[in-house]
Structure 1
Amino acid sequence: MSDLFLLTEAQMRRIEPYFPLSHGVARVDDRRVISGIIFVIRNGLRWRDAPREYGPHKTVYNRFVRWSRLGVFNKIFAELARKGGAPKRLMIDATHLKAHRTAASLLKKGLFPRRIGRTKGGLNSKLHAVCDGQGRPVIMLLSEGQMSDYKGAALMIDAMPPAKQLLGDKGYHANWFRQALAARGITACIPSKSNRAKPIEHDRILYRQRHKIENAFGRLKDWRRIHTRYDRCAHTFFSAICIAATVIFWI
């Protein structure tokens, strides 16, 4: 497997504590199967095209789906991000992820929402994220493409870790959001919209650091199954995003 991706032993030690316990028959080699999942997501392959070195493709796919339903990958990301320590500075932004027609084929009515919406760019989902000062995601949220930035912020604000400052673009210019941040002791560095009668000043030099969260989105979208959504179920697609964020930023 010299030319394929394989998690190191050190990386496995960091994520193994969050794996579910096996009952009865021992699981197939975790390191090999998880590495296969990462390889498929990063390269945008069909599951049936996973290299034979990772074992039967059905085993790789079934492990991904089963652990996605259990929220294992979400937990790994959340716990490793939490152990990264309290950041001094936060950044917030959102980006659209195009939904392939195969992802949009799931019926709108069902037990779980699809998290797929329609905008001028067609069918897509929207990834909302809060990053630390180094541009590493600490909170992520998947929504329909038409959800506004500040509505996504409202769903994430309670989970934000304590920090001194928060950087955001004009999409987060809302009085209630500034007040909510102030109540948490966070200074907002957000430009005012052009139609505001009395613009609110912000630190323009500090605001230049916001490119780090844009870079984080770019690195996530380098993974082909993140850049284009092929998963019909929202929980499997979000698990793929959590896997990418964990590998890129936290292990």
Structure 2
Amino acid sequence: MTNPVVAVLGTGTMGAGMVRSLRRSGIPVQMWNRDPARAQALTDTGATACGSPAEAVAGADVVLTMLFDADAVVDVLRQAAPPVGTTWLQCSTVGVEGADRTVALADELGLVLVDCPVLGTREPAEQGALVLLASGPEHTRQELAPVLDALGSRTLWLGHAGAGSRLKMACNAWLFMVTAGAAQSIALARGLGVDPQDFLSAIAGGPLDTPYAHAKGAQMLAGEHPLSFGLTGAAKDARLIQAALRTAGVSDRLDAAVLATMDAAAASVEDPAAVDVSAIVAGL
């Protein structure tokens, strides 16, 4: 199959970029969002906005979910009720327990589940440059190849469904350490009366450098936090990481400190859902 029809359920910050990347590759898209205006805004790509999840999945070869959490995923999939045998590309970040729920739901509904959370934020989603953490049946690779190629720069196939969500916890744990570490160093430099820009200059090009620290650090320095990876979503993911750490028997003290800082930042801004995770600096 070279040109599968994809139903995208969830066209928020990430889902919208994914729709644009799919359409840029010529893949037919039927889409639904809880706020119909967000799906309607993407019809200029040639994607079809649908009035319900069930309408969106009608005639689709692949159902792609990009929703806030596991509860939303389960609720919307039950509403959609795709035909038995449909391939379900589950891209939402749902954590370990949530991934197990999606496996059980796929078994119940007779769907072929590929658990595939992604690494990347709004810009990589729009550019088709995500890293895809795919886990599921080997036979789905050929069917999904044009979809995954449109969405990402790389796909890692990790084994049975659920492995992708587990690796996503480890990857996001690292991401939050980098974000919180940059925020702490910037806040510390300010508190000690030195220019925090000099911190970013000091690490530039060295073994401790990372482009992400500069991207988020620039927002922290400017005091502007345009939404890319929302603070509310990041805190949700930090809680999923905390649960995963406890499940694995690993101490959660580092994640707990980051989560407490996120919560403090959320309490200090007007609308936590409208700011990027770089606003974590406000919690310090």
Q: Please say whether Structure 1 and Structure 2 have the same fold, judged by a TM-score greater than 0.5.
A: no
More strand by share: 1
TM-score for the superposition, normalised by structure 2: 0.27
